[in-house]
Amino acid sequence: MAIPVLTIDGPSGAGKGTVSRAVAKKLGWNYLDSGSIYRSLAIAVLKQQLSLEDEGAIVNIARSMKLEFDCGDVLVVRLDNIDITTQLGLENTGNTASIIAALPEVRRVLLQKQKDFKQLPGLVADGRDMGTVVFPDAKNKVFLTASAEKRAERRYKQLIEKGIAANLAQITIEIEDRDRRDSERKTAPLAIADDAIYIDSSDMTVESVIAEVLNLIH
């Protein structure tokens, strides 16, 4: 039996995580937050204080790291048996993830870990290259984006709500840097799959994006 896959790709802060989780829950499907795999590797690399240019050492960690995901209401991730959930969302983790995600051999090693999430009754996969590289045969593909200003504003609000000091101008610069790195890298850059539905969420509520995506599946 073919396992249905819905891919949701797009730049940082477009709301992919919130939308993907809600859609997966509604459909009763599995959920892959592929960014958390790159983020977990970033945490391991930072912990070992490796140079971000040492591709060989980073690839070795990517090969040997043991990752466990509990995809309940909140995603819990364990790296080599240690709970790293609270470190996953840090700005430094995301920025480091985006640097090491540009290394071709890292992407190759992490490919199978992502494909393994494709299990019955279905999968919602969120990332940058889900519809183009990891699950090119997915029946439903979405490219979810929003203007850099809107994405920075949302991120700023999230941090403030969590009681974390934040600077909107700095966040905007980081988002633009990350967009550039993710779109301009040679291997699996952020790109819109030919068969993806394009959704610009700049002026949409989360609920209406979720409804539009669910509509696609039905």
Of residues 76 through 95, those in contact with ligand C5P by CB under 6 A are: 94
Instruction: Report the residue number, 122 or 127, with the smaller CB distance to ligand C5P.
Output: 127
In single-letter form, the type of residue at position 141 comes to K
Contact 8, 16 (CB under 8 A): yes
Q: Is 98 in the site for ligand C5P (CB under 6 A)?
A: yes
Positions in 181-200 near ligand C5P (CB under 6 A) = 182
Among 5, 7, 8, 12, binds ligand C5P (CB under 6 A): 12
Single out the residue of 21, 128, 151, 154 in contact with ligand C5P (rule: CB under 6 A). 128
Contacts of 166 (CB under 8 A, 6+ apart): 155, 156, 159, 160
Which residue number is nearest to ligand C5P in terms of Cβ?
35
CA 218 to CA 209: how far, in whole Å? 14
| 7, 142 Cβ separation under 8 angstroms | yes
CB-wise, 77 or 182, nearer to ligand C5P?
Answer: 182
Minimum CB separation of residue 218 from ligand C5P in Å reads 26
Work out which of 21, 39, 141, 155 binds ligand C5P, going by CB under 6 A. 39
Cis previous bond, 121, omega within 30 = yes
Alpha helices of 134-167 — where are they, by DSSP H?
148-161
Contacts of 114 (CB under 8 A, 6+ apart): 32, 34, 37, 125, 127, 134
Residues near ligand C5P, by CB under 6 A: 12, 34-35, 38-39, 94, 97-98, 101, 127-129, 178, 182
